[in-house]
Chain A
Amino acid sequence: MTVESLVFFFLAAFAVTTAVLMVVQRSPLVSAIYLIANFFALAALYLLLRAQLLAVLQIVVYTGAIMVLVVFVIMLLNLEEEGRVRTRIAIRTWITVVLAAGFLSEIVYVFFVAGTPAEGTTISAGAESLGTVESMGEALFGKFLLPFEITSLLLLTAILGAVVLAKRKG
């Protein structure tokens, strides 16, 4: 066991635990906190994969912007916990479990037993310089220029619409 694999297994266990806890928690606010913890674990995993810029963005965008907004709305609406009684949901829960288990086993079979689809078996040698601000910037303003510009329109639309929907009448 190298240090790197120890770190990986710790982060993986942490990510799965927080994800499961987020789904089973009845209080929305506690769920949100677990999701934030999960995002930190993912950011660390991105670092293991040598994606420096995205690791930082993960914290800045997801934790700093999206989750703060979510927590803010939860507190603004002062939401109660979901009730315990859920008779009608039982069937849906079972369907979910069956579907999820089926999907999970299928994909794990593909990745583990039958071998991975991607060619490389180790992180490629150039990965270190791949996730830097410099190379990402070159890609975004070179090959991906058009999607980048369209994304700005997407954000404009979102701002415009969010203001229209959320503002009070009059």
Chain B
Amino acid sequence: MSDHLLNDLSLFAPETAITLTLVAAILADLIFRRTPLVVAALVLAGFVVTGLLLLGQTGVNASIFTGMIAVDSFAVFFKTIVVLAGILVVVFSMESGELNSPGRKLGEYYALLCAAALGMMLMAGASNLLMMYIAIELSSLSSYLLSGYTREAPDSSEASLKYLIYGAVSSGLMLYGISLMYGLSGSLDLRAINRALPQVLSGGGAASFTLLIAGVLALAGFGYKISAVPFHFWTPDVYEGAPITITAFLSVASKAGGFAMMIRFFKVTFIDAGAVALPAGTWATLQGFHWVDLVAILAVLSMTIGNLVAVWQNNLKRLLAYSSIAHAGYMLTGVVVLSNQGLAAIMVYFGVYLFMNLGAFYCVMLIADKTGSEDIDEYKGIGGRSPFLAVALAVFLVSLTGLPPTAGFIGKLYLFAALINSGWTWLAIVAALNSVIALYYYVRVFRNMFLRTEEPSSPGITLSWLQNAALVVLLVPTLLLGLYFTPLVQLAQASVRLFGTP
């Protein structure tokens, strides 16, 4: 028994490291009250150590803590995304003018960031519905608190309340779905449910109808986490109201956790493991439960509504919120494909999305710190005032649109290829049309930055060397992965293995 536990603990090392960082951040905050940078450096180091420990888990394929958590290459990939986002967001936070205003204590901020990251890492690995619920709640609770952290700003606490109400309702719906699945199958373990389902479904229409309701309710929880339409209502308000560093973290890490969990839920639970005569790398769904259609509808709605509403936005943070809803839609199309190729495409997309989206938010943060505004009309003449910053933002936005030679193009290319290969041509066409709409609203930003003249009084924007360095760190992968993408693709293709699936 104790040997077993020790073995489990050794595979749990990254999560343990981030937990210890959390506790250390709270203690360090008490000791170094006057120097918030100490805590920031400590948390940064903690995230780096967690990342290094994750590297040591390459190739592991195991289930630990009586089946609560799976440690497989799929989980490790998404945990790495979360940790990388964490590292970058800690660096952003050290630079942020909004957070580092005089008199604000940041110790708890960093501790909550660790808690959120831990929750998202657990989401990536959870293979039991109970563990999924706890992981969602840990990441959600700390996200509510983080988005309300600048509490003297009315927007911030409003955002926090909206986030909490939507979050609590959707987790309530999800819990109801979980309870129905438990009633149907008698278990909360994904693989046990998978084994029980064929017999349940053979019972006839009522059982498969109940399963459909359970699936829809569970989808409410996942949809909320990845901000897919129609569970997206919180996204624009929270993205606009929260401190921008947190917006950036939520847009990447929270989505990564949510996607990992959703894919594991559907793939482990509803795939017919006994199906024969299938081409390698494709999956068969269980008879009598057509969840793929549900996901396809969600994908189309998210892409279209996200992009269409983004056209009308004037606040760049809010615009990026709608664009992130649209990106959730693009990534959902990879789930519909039902093959390892689609799964790898989602991972490639996440790999590039990490850099381009964080980069875009970082530029918005730097500009907002200097000009005090996130309004697109205030971006007039930024190109003249700070050429490097403007060019960097332009590159990130081009990449988000998905044009070559940036990394975003590669992400979209792999998704579209997977869609067309598996016969979902209409979905690929919808996604391509949506990219055109996206181009329209991003061009508005370019035009303001480069073609409109600045007002004479506006001062130039100068960046510190650390800010320049951070921009370069984000810019290089965004451009490089557009040209030399083989390593990322290979990594994604090697990471499609989930524990307990063929």
Contacts and interface: CB of A to CB of B under 8 A. Distances in A.
A86 interface: no
B210 A117 contact: yes
A99 interface: no
A43 to B, nearest CB: 18
B66 interface: yes
B127 to A, nearest CB: 11
Interface string A30-47: 000000000000000000
A117 B68 CA distance: 25
Contacts of A106: 213
B69 interface: yes
A107 interface: yes
B68 A146 contact: yes
B206 A115 contact: yes
Given A110-B213, A146-B68, A153 B149 contact: no
* Prevailing SS type, chain A contact patch: helix
B145 A165 contact: yes
A160 interface: yes
B63 to A, nearest CB: 12
B103 interface: yes
Contacts of B148: 165
A169 B152 contact: yes
B183 A154 contact: no
Contacts of B65: 145-146
Contacts of B183: 116-118
Contacts of A24: none
Given A110-B206, A110-B210, A161 B108 contact: yes
B115 A150 contact: no
B141 interface: yes
A157 interface: yes
A162 B138 CA distance: 14
A88 B142 CA distance: 33
Most buried by B among A106, A144, A156: A144
Nearest to B182: A118
Contacts of A116: 183
Contact of A147 (B68, B142, B206, B210): B68
Contact of B209 (A114, A142, A161, A169): A114
Contacts of B68: 144, 146-147
Interface string B454-472: 0000000000000000000
Interface string B7-33: 000000000000100100010000000
Contact of B66 (A119, A143, A157, A170): A143
A164 interface: yes
A158 interface: yes
Contacts of B209: 110, 114
Contacts of B108: 160-161, 164
Interface residues of A, number: 29
Contacts of B155: none
B243 to A, nearest CB: 13
B142 A144 contact: no
Nearest to B108: A164
A150 B134 contact: yes
A150 B130 contact: no
Interface string B186-213: 1000000000000010001111011001
A169 B153 CA distance: 12
A164 B213 CA distance: 39
Nearest to B176: A107
Interface string B120-150: 0010000000110011011001101100110
B112 A160 contact: yes
Contacts of A110: 206, 209-210, 213
Interface string A118-145: 1100000000000000000000001111
A144 B145 contact: no
Nearest to B142: A157
A142 B115 CA distance: 24
A157 B117 CA distance: 12
B70 interface: no
A76 B122 CA distance: 37
B259 to A, nearest CB: 21
Contact of A114 (B22, B115, B118, B205): B205
Contacts of A158: 141
Interface string B287-322: 000000000000000000000000000000000000
A91 to B, nearest CB: 16
A151 interface: yes
B130 A164 contact: no
14 contacts: A117-B206, A117-B210, A118-B184, A145-B65, A146-B69, A147-B68, A147-B130, A153-B138, A154-B138, A154-B141, A160-B111, A160-B145, A161-B108, A165-B148
